[in-house]
Amino acid sequence: MYYFPKEHPPAHFHAEYGEHEASVAIESLECMAGELPPRAMGMVIEWATIHQAELLENWRRCQDQRDLLPIPPLE
């Protein structure tokens, strides 16, 4: 996530894999822009599904320019 005012609704996060990047909507978990290889995108969606509440909280914190809370990786 990037800090406001650079970020814009809807709530989303950025995922990078090598030279690929995608923006993923937090509520719908749909890819808004860009793309990742299918296996990488599957792992991102799995992680985001598990941590959807934390992602939304970090989105709110980002909009208020507060520090983001760490979210554990996919295990």
- Between strands 12-17 and 20-25, the pairing is antiparallel
What domain range includes position 24?
Answer: 1-75
Q: Which of helix, strand or coil describes residue 23?
A: strand
Number of domains within the chain:
1
Stated pTM of the model: 0.90
Average pLDDT of the segment spanning 50-59: 97
Residue 61 banded pLDDT, cuts 50, 70, 90? very high
Residue 21 banded pLDDT, cuts 50, 70, 90? very high
| 50 vs 8: which has the higher pLDDT | 50
Q: In this model, does residue 47 exceed pLDDT 70?
A: yes
